[in-house]
Chains A and B, each alone.
Chain A
Amino acid sequence: MQFSASTLPLPKRLLGFFAVLVAVTAAVAVVGIILGMVGNFLANGGTHVTWEFLTEFPRNSNTEGGIWPALAGTTLLVMLMTLLGVPVGTATAIYLTEFAKQDSWFARSVRFAVNTLAGVPSIVFGLFGVGFFIQFMGGNIDAAFGTSSFGDGSLLWSSTTLAVLTLPVVIVSVEEALRAVPRDLREASLALGATRMQTIIKVVLPNSVTGILTGSILAVGRGAGEVAAILFVGVTYSSEVLPSAVTEKFMHLGYHLFVLSTQSPDVEKTLPLQFATTLVLLGLTFLLNLTAILIRSRLRKR
């Protein structure tokens, strides 16, 4: 018997060949685009990313100097956002998977809210931040405690706004992780006389650490690059000092890039700075993702 010659008619064989060709081309194109982008930034801004660039304040109306306050501001923002958003998101996911009756109207409305939240344009979150966090919460805090620092845009309100924005990401990935914990494991714990809460704390959560981390990192990735949502709630285009309290304004890499490219007195002169800033922002995101991947693979092996 012969197997070497295909028995398919020629048109079908051609079709198969073209399908593979299209798929490979698409895959190559994706890699090409990424390589092209990174290559472009590297070629134009690579030499500007120096230690001084990372650690110095901008000078001369952002046309010279470094990006230290923007780098620090972004990092602080993302950290605070994670601290605020991940616990709330995790708690919501725990409620949805462990406690809610799956077809109850309340669980369904929470789910509906989460899905809707995920589709809302980020600028709307920014406006929500102004209305809810700055004016309502901040205003009331100021009125109640006689302070004056809460009723204005700040690192704090930017973090809360971003935390709300990234909530769906956290909730969905933590929920997935919790559902992946085998039912047998929960039953084994309950059969030993553990309460539901003990089972969640001692068995379910430790077994979904990777999922919770993934959710956090995805949220961080989304939050770090987000500019529209924080436009009105605390980011500033220039700062001589780092924020010394959460109620102060801060600089941000993404916003800094926008400022450099549109608001500078001499945009041409800032071009290398723009490329270098982009490179740092990309590098930061890449570093975060890499950390996440490393943590996950280590936890998985355990």
Chain B
Amino acid sequence: MAKDLQPKIEAHDFNFFYGQKQALFDINLTIPERRVTAFIGPSGCGKSTFLRSINRMNDLIEGTVINGQMVVDGTNVYDKEVDVVTLRRRIGMVFQKSIPFPKSIYENITYGLTLNESRTKAELDEIVEFSLRRSALWDEVKDRLNHSALGMSGGQQQRLCIARAIAINPEILLMDEPCSALDPISTAKVEELIDELKDTYTIVLVTHNMQQAGRVSDFTGFFLMGSLIEFDRTRTIFTSPSKKETEDYITGRFG
């Protein structure tokens, strides 16, 4: 890791099991602060499982077991003292399918804000505008904030989900294949957004789309069958990977 980079998320010998089936094997890596880190690899390689382990979304699945450490800002998130709700408030997440709540655009953004603290209408208005501006959605929706979010286009819905995630002011943004259901134009908008957001947030992106990883990420990790094969600067991974599996995947020989 280069000197100018601060580690944000570190995995130490991280193993993950769905019941008897092991999905991640001894993952060791360090994700730097305020950079975009992408995970690529074929379906079922464990990249999403790893991503969802960072904010403990896998806790919701019955029968999962982990061992090893997942360290965020120096704290192992699987420590007994860690409050998972507090953890998730510091880590925003955007999912593959854009899933706005069947509420108004405004209420979608304020959902996470009003859960545990009361805020004045003025504060909320301000955060809604800020979040929508940051997700490049403000000009498109400012006149219909009280309309249902379900009336938006797919691309707008996904950017709304990003706005909703950054409204709670997280430090980390996890994105699980955020563009896989979007058309090229919407994809380009989301990628542009990722580029702007990385000054503020540590972004971890899972993608099926290698070109996307190449375009937006600073670091890339290649997963295969539950193992992290290679992790390096994106430029290095795409131009001179050190492992043969990585090269085969990048050049489209399989996957």
Question: Which A residues have a C-beta under 8 Å from some C-beta of B?
Answer: 101-102, 182, 184-195, 198, 202-203, 206-207, 302
Contacts and interface: CB of A to CB of B under 8 A. Distances in A.
B168 A184 contact: no
Nearest to B96: A184
A-B pairs with lowest CB-CB distance, top 9: A193-B89, A192-B112, A191-B93, A184-B99, A193-B88, A188-B99, A194-B115, A193-B85, A195-B85
Interface string B55-92: 10100101000000000000000000000011011011
Nearest to B93: A191
Contacts of B95: 184, 187-188, 191
A185 B111 CA distance: 13
Contact of B111 (A101, A187, A189, A195): A189
A101 B97 contact: no
A203 B88 CA distance: 17
B101 A188 contact: yes
B20 to A, nearest CB: 15
Contacts of A182: 99
A206 B107 CA distance: 14
Contact of B57 (A190, A195, A202, A206): A190
Given A188-B164, A193-B86, A194-B111, 17 more contacts: A187-B57, A187-B60, A188-B95, A190-B57, A190-B60, A190-B88, A192-B89, A192-B111, A192-B112, A192-B165, A192-B168, A193-B85, A193-B88, A193-B116, A194-B85, A202-B111, A203-B101
Nearest to A194: B115
A187 B92 CA distance: 12
Contacts of A101: 62
B44 interface: no
Given A101-B62, A182-B99, A192 B164 contact: yes
Interface residues of B, number: 24
Contacts of B97: 184
B161 interface: yes
A195 B89 CA distance: 11
B99 to A, nearest CB: 5
B102 interface: yes
Interface in B85-138: 85-86, 88-89, 91-93, 95, 97, 99, 101-102, 111-112, 115-116
Contacts of A190: 57, 60, 88
Nearest to A182: B99
A48 to B, nearest CB: 48
A181 to B, nearest CB: 10
A274 to B, nearest CB: 48
16 contacts: A102-B62, A184-B95, A185-B99, A187-B93, A190-B88, A191-B55, A191-B57, A191-B93, A191-B95, A192-B164, A192-B165, A193-B85, A193-B116, A193-B168, A194-B111, A198-B115
B101 A193 contact: no
